[in-house]
Each structure stands twice: as C-alpha cells, then as structure tokens.
Structure 1
Amino acid sequence: MPIYEYRCPRCEVYEIIRVMGKAPAEDACPTCGQPARRKISAPHVSRTGTAVFQLIESTERSASEPRVVSGSLPSTGKGAAPIYSSNPLHRKLPRP
C-alpha cells in the first residue's frame, strides 16, 4: 500500500498508509485535529544502484538468460594436501 504525506498548518508533515486511490485531498491531523492537505511528493522507487537490487536482478536474469561458462571445469579438491611446515620430520607424523 502506498504512503501518503500530509502537511498540517500547525504541526509538521506526517504520513498515512492508505489503499491506492482512497486517500482524500484533506485529512484531520492526528496531533491537533486541524485539516491537513495532501502533499505531492516523489515516489520511493527502488534504488537501482544498491548491491541488494543488483543481486536480485542478476538472480532473476539468470533464470531466463544463464551465463555461458568458458574454460576448464573447477577442481574437485582432491589434490595434494597443503604443506603447513617445511620441516621434513613433520611429514612422518600421523594425519587425522
């Protein structure tokens, strides 16, 4: 549901959530009760520069336009164990 902004002549700007198209041009201020006029403001559209939006967009795009992979397959990880020590005596120790 959209958020409508109203400006009271005495108080500050306040917001009301109403069904789209059902917001009247004037509404009673919740603080003082005086009639407040609806304010014309810019809509809060999603920001396309944020990382979250870019992630959502790439996820949706990958459903219909998957990325073409080129190159070799990734390794399975069954290679030689990394060497943690250069001491040759440590190679004789039992492995977990």
Structure 2
Amino acid sequence: EAALVDTTRRALADAQVSAEDISRVVMPLIHRGVSPENYELLGFTEKQSTWDLGRQVGHVAAGDQFLGLEHLVKQGTVGRGDLVLLVAAGEGFSYSAAVVEILDVPSW
C-alpha cells in the first residue's frame, strides 16, 4: 500500500496537481474483495474509477490503462481539460502512475 500511495503521490507532484484536480482514475482491472480498494487508498471513489468496466471485462494485463482510458473517452465521462490519473501495478509490487490531460476528444 505504501508503494502504491508513494508512486501516485510522486506522479501528482510531478504534474503539479493534487488528487482533487483529478476527474477520473484508471486502476488495474483486478478483482474486488479486499477493502479498502486501491482507488480508495488513493482518495478516490468507485464512481471516479473504472470499476464499471473492470467488473465486465476483468484484468487485461498491461492493457488495463489503455482500455480504461478509451472507456472513459467513449462513455463521454471525460472531456477537454479533464485530468486522468493512470495507475499500473506489475510483478514484484512495482507501480507506475501518470497524469494525462484530455486535450481533445476524438470523434470515434
């Protein structure tokens, strides 16, 4: 938990934003059942997460963040100017995070 929180904190600091500035968070699409959920550890609600997608498709490995971001765009839940936090987890408890700004919404 500490590594996840620290990695995310550093990504937010690098982007010079706070968690309150983030519209949505894309987490790995892994099973639920352990409380608190990862998005909760980071200060986000289920509604801000991509769990609505995750419960339908499950974990798609390194594709979770790309699929999650596409899902948010296609659903119209993010728009120009929104900040989205992408969080990934890998083997050996390695984490990465990035803040992306939606500059334009594609027509697809």
TM-score bracket relative to the smaller structure:
under 0.3
Choose between structure 1 and 2 for higher RCO, CA contacts under 8 A separated by at least 6 residues.
2
TM-score norm. by structure 1 comes to 0.22
Richer in helix (by share): 2
- Greater C-alpha radius of gyration: 1
TM-score norm. by structure 2 comes to 0.21
